Amino acid sequence: MKKLGIGIIGTGLGALVLRLNNESERTVEVRGMADTDPLRKFQRYDVGKNLQNLADEFHVSFVTEDYQELLKRKDINIIGIFSPCPLHFKHIREALTAGKHIVCTKPMVVSLEEAKEVAKLVDRTGLKFLVGQSMRWNDIFITAKEMHEKGEIGRIIFAESYYVHDMRGVLDRSPWRYKMPQDFMYGGCCHPIDLLRWFLGDIEEVFAYGICSHFDKRYPPDKEDTFLLNLKFKSGVIGRVMGAFGLVHPPHRHMVGLGLYGTRASLYNDEIVYDKEGKHPFNKDIEKINIKGEGHAEEIPRMFKHLEECIRNDQKPLVDVRDGAKVISTCSAAWESIKTGKPVKVFNEF
């Protein structure tokens, strides 16, 4: 089987894709990396020291500061986009134009208009496009999905998801997040929005609140960083999303969480309570779901293996361009709701 080559734009989280090159019988491998800062440090993920160190350690033959050099290479079939969020649209457009399949980390783009354009371009090129909503490759949420599909939770009545993250350390490592700055509605709330869409489908309407915490003085004082979204799904189910990014990290075991409340059971992350025989269980009936995972170090390589399967078998990616676009349109509607103080319909006609 012919190996497929990967080129990485942005080697922050993108550095984790390099783990694929350690597999002895790999059928996809990283062949090129581009980063505007070749001296960037990567100690957090224990994968090297700088761009050339990474290349040497994982046997990557080509490194560059110009991502367009990756797009010209015939030995690269897939582009992994891990650049700052505001650059995604430009990098997506150029990679598709160059004939490359794409894995683009979340958020796909940062506006409804960009989402519409990307959907049209993917349709026109016929290339495979996967949005890197990494929570869909997280063992906790994969297990929850399997339990739901087996009927263990029953009909979902209400659902909630959150992403709560003290961003100070992240801002230290990636200053672009306060210099550009990053929009935390698109860059943060996209995680819990996508999780709920995975279980419940299209969102019909959103009513949202947002505040600026003024917690980290580097982040613009006139831009909201903490959000609450009330959602109505087309199925009739209601839900909520919390995205809080300007705070001291709370004592949660999970930065991203999921709650599903159904007619047979209630699940919250890795714990579940079954309503056995229509009785009302007490805390002693909470069951622990046995789940082990490595977080992004496991999730990100899985995404590229999935796209490889989609390319070879001509399959639809788990999170395709329309899934990504509908998350962006939900974020766009949430921003409109914050500004107007009214519920806003979500655009889903991609």
Does the structural domain 4-133+297-319 have CATH classification 3.90.1300.10? no
Query: Which residue type does 31 have?
Result: R
ω into 107 cis (within 30 of 0): yes
CA 330 to CA 112: how far, in whole Å? 9
Q: Alpha-carbon Rg of the chain, whole angstroms?
A: 20
Cβ atoms of 196 and 239 closer than 8 Å:
yes
Pull the structure tokens for residue 183.
Answer: 């929009």
pLDDT number for residue 283: 60
pLDDT number for residue 43: 46
pLDDT number for residue 340: 98
pLDDT number for residue 134: 93
Nearest residue to 87 (alpha-carbon basis) of 78, 95, 98: 95
pLDDT per residue as tens, the chain (350 positions)? 899 999 999 987 888 899 999 988 889 999 999 998 877 665 444 555 678 888 888 999 999 999 999 999 999 999 999 999 999 999 999 999 999 999 999 999 999 999 999 999 999 999 999 999 999 999 999 999 999 999 999 999 999 999 999 999 999 989 999 999 999 999 999 999 999 999 999 999 999 999 999 999 999 999 999 999 999 999 999 999 999 999 999 987 789 999 999 999 999 999 999 987 777 666 667 788 877 666 788 899 999 999 999 999 999 999 999 999 999 999 999 999 999 999 999 999 99
CATH architecture of 136-293+328-345: 2-Layer Sandwich (3.30)
Longest Cα separation, the chain: 63
pLDDT number for residue 284: 62
Q: Which residues, including other chains, have CB under 8 Å from residue 271's CB and lie 6 or more apart? A: 286, 287, 288, 289
Cβ atoms of 245 and 184 closer than 8 Å:
yes
CA 302 to CA 309: how far, in whole Å? 11
pLDDT number for residue 254: 83
Domain residue extents for the chain: 4-133+297-319, 136-293+328-345
